[in-house]
Structure 1
Amino acid sequence: MLAATAPIQRPLGAKLLHVDELGRMRVLPRAGLIDLLEAGDLVVANDAATMPASLQGVHAPTRSPIELRLAGRRSLASEDLHRFIAVAFGAGDYRTRTEHRAAPPHFDVGDVLELGPLTAHVEAVLDHPRLLAIRFGSPAALWAGLAAHGRPIQYAHVSQPLELWDVWTPIAGMPVAYEPPSAGFVLDWQLLAAMRHRGIEFTTITHAAGISSTGDASLDARLPFDEPYEISFTAATAINRALTRKRRIIAVGTTVVRALEHAIGGRESIRPGLAMADQRIATATRLRVVDTILSGTHEPRTSHHELLHAFAGPDTLTRMDEALNREDFRTHEFGDSVLLAKRAG
């Protein structure tokens, strides 16, 4: 067990690379984030809690062992809780790198998947033999089954089995994420209090953060999947006020960027409510809401890294990646952080 003084989400000596709008860079302790924020800034974070979305079980027709990773659903509405998109793996667990995992058995519509106390039915195979539309029974049974049998989705770079509290940010609320909105691990109540004291505004949205890797190149190329989100009236009011007053809006994580840029659409303001982020953010994207992103460090050619191209040009991102390597920044969801401003002009 990790010592209580060094939780996995907040490693001792965590670092922050600050990249400003001119591409200038400096390395700071992550605790120095507060000094990079200014009175009037609006910081927006994702308050989604992470579900235990990894389910070990058996493909009933063949009795083959499988792991099912829940990866998406059509909305955040409670009545839509029993249907999911899921990625299937064969025998094994997170200790094997995803790209080396055994393939699952062949799936057909109607197949029964026995997942501990849960039973799921295959409703469709979605253009890839490992991508399934599945259906569970009642929401109450699903929550009970997830609590009893589910585990957090985990990857081989973390050897210690994760507990659910390891993947919840301090502001976690509704359990709708499949992997943690991990940029939010930077936040703690001391930082939020300091922000309030300095006149820095803070609000949250809820975005169902999806999975970051499937182990299959053709599936990974489709990430991120469509992801539902909800923006409350309070959050929309704060964001629209910041837009009107031309205040800096800082997104904590890629999920917040995706939700806010989808929510603005072709309008001049953001509407509250439920919606589905179905766009990709990349080089050609014109950011209309977010000025700066606070993010974990992401490896080139991943969908998370691709999103950063909307903030900075290729030269800046190349220099940023070189600096992260040179300064031994930790990657993945439990590592160090980057504060990247949208390029000037």
Structure 2
Amino acid sequence: MIAADRSDHYSAKLLVVEADGTMRHLPRSSLAALFNPGDLVVANDAATLPASLRGTHIASGEAIEIRLAGWLSLSDPTRFLAIAFGAGDYRTRTEDRLPPPALAMGDRLRLGPLEAGVERLLDHPRLVELRFLGNRAAMFAGLAQHGRPIQYAHVPEPLALWGVWTKIAARPFAFEAPSAGFALDWNTLQVWRRRDIGFATLTHAAGVSSTGDPALDSRLPFDEPYLIPERTAAQVMLAKLRGSRIIAIGTSVVRALEAAANPDGSVRVGNSIATGRIAQDTPLRVGDTILTGVHQPGESHFELLRAFADDTLLARASAALAAGGYRTHEFGDSVLYNLPTAAAAGERKPERSP
């Protein structure tokens, strides 16, 4: 297996979209110089789980692939929301994958050294609730031994697990890489520190980006647990008091910050679950700026960007990205939406749960 060809940090592209509609095409390495002293950058430090598991549906003997898509319980880490496919692998486009064997409650799946039971069938033939048999330690050992990163057909060679970890990856908690974090490297973090630009992390269980079915994709993102450390909450509060920008590295960071937000823009410490969706009319109480990948209209990530920018500006940005040959997908180029939001202006729109 190989690491993804993410392209060198110094050759990747960055489109900066300013509040007045100005757009700048820059090398992504210039990210280190774009913010001001006192600003706070917040990134997702979740490491990516080997969440794709191939095996057998014991009742029928048929092949099955399970893609873990979400934690069902913060107290029981052996229970998951999962997407099921039939025979095949990532080299077939997700939308062309075979359906899974006919599943029933109580069915057992043999997934390498692991065995799992179907706890509940949900309202789509690919969507199930799954519990691994045995304890937490045995489950993680089995994932490490047999699991692979969730992967899509646009990357032809199999990915190594370390190839989907960002430089700041810590706790294994995400189901797909919090890919905006691929824009960060140690040189950028060092420059920010020298320039008194704050850096904080949270841990968010970034979920799957595609299920292969448009109806099911329209329900993304699923509920996602997150953890806000005490130090990060304190840094957010200090940035708010200073009137400094808070820059979210990726949509998963926006979702966690907004789920934990208080009316004054501070954030609550601890574990919780981000539910619902952030979209065009969602008030943003924390983040002022977002660094993200190149997303397409209709994707859940793109829908979140509509909370930062109106459709006209997003359409102009999409046209500039296409004209500039920017790469999409998780190992692609980056966009910085440097736009004033209600959070930045200190204004308060009518509140709505994120």
Partner of 1:134: 130
Alpha-carbon distance in structure 1 between the residues aligned to 2:303 and 2:336: 16
Structure 1 stretches of 4+ with a deviation exceeding 3 A read: 9-12, 265-268
Per-residue CA distance 1:239-285 (angstroms, 9 max, x = gap): 11111221100000000000001111445421100010002111001
Query: Is 1:153 the counterpart of 2:154 in the alignment?
Result: no
Alpha-carbon distance in structure 1 between the residues aligned to 2:7 and 2:127: 30
Partner of 2:190: 193
Contact 2:50 2:144 in 1 (8 A): yes
Structure 2: which amino acid aligns with 1:16?
A: L
Alpha-carbon distance in structure 1 between the residues aligned to 2:129 and 2:290: 33
Partner of 1:211: 208
Partner of 1:232: 229
Structure 2: which amino acid aligns with 1:83?
A: R
Partner of 2:315: 318
**Counterparts of residues 70-149 of structure 1 (less than 5 Å):** 70-75=68-73, 77=74, 79-136=75-132, 137-149=134-146
Point out where structure 2 has 5 or more consecutive residues left out of the alignment.
346-354
> By how many angstroms is 1:12 displaced?
5.9
Partner of 2:51: 53
Query: Is 1:329 the counterpart of 2:326 in the alignment?
Result: yes
Alpha-carbon distance in structure 2 between the residues aligned to 1:134 and 1:74: 9
> By how many angstroms is 1:314 displaced?
0.5
Which residue, out of 144, 163, 166, partners 2:163?
A: 166
Contact 1:73 1:227 in 2 (8 A): yes
Alpha-carbon distance in structure 1 between the residues aligned to 2:218 and 2:309: 21
Partner of 1:19: 17
What is the TM-score normalised by the length of structure 1? 0.96
Partner of 1:33: 31
> By how many angstroms is 1:188 displaced?
1.1
Alpha-carbon distance in structure 2 between the residues aligned to 1:285 and 1:266: 13
Partner of 1:259: 256
Percent of paired sites with the same residue: 58
Structure 1: which amino acid aligns with 2:101?
A: P
Q: Cα gap change, 1:10/1:66 in structure 2, threshold over 3 Å: closer, same or farther?
A: farther
Contact 2:5 2:331 in 1 (8 A): no
> By how many angstroms is 1:9 displaced?
6.2
Q: Cα gap change, 1:91/1:202 in structure 2, threshold over 3 Å: closer, same or farther?
A: same
Partner of 2:177: 180
Contact 1:9 1:185 in 2 (8 A): no
Alpha-carbon distance in structure 1 between the residues aligned to 2:7 and 2:257: 25
Structure 1: which amino acid aligns with 2:294?
A: T
Contact 1:250 1:291 in 2 (8 A): yes
What is the TM-score normalised by the length of structure 2? 0.93
Per-residue CA distance 1:137-183 (angstroms, 9 max, x = gap): 21111111111100000000001110001000010000010000000
2:20 alignment partner, SS class: coil
Alpha-carbon distance in structure 2 between the residues aligned to 1:59 and 1:103: 13
RMSD: 1.6
Per-residue CA distance 1:33-70 (angstroms, 9 max, x = gap): 11211111100000000000000011111111111000
Alpha-carbon distance in structure 2 between the residues aligned to 1:180 and 1:270: 24
Query: Is 1:222 the counterpart of 2:219 in the alignment?
Result: yes
The size of the alignment, in residue pairs, is 341
Structure 1: which amino acid aligns with 2:114?
A: L
Q: Cα gap change, 1:319/1:70 in structure 2, threshold over 3 Å: closer, same or farther?
A: same
2:260 alignment partner, SS class: helix
2:151 alignment partner, SS class: coil
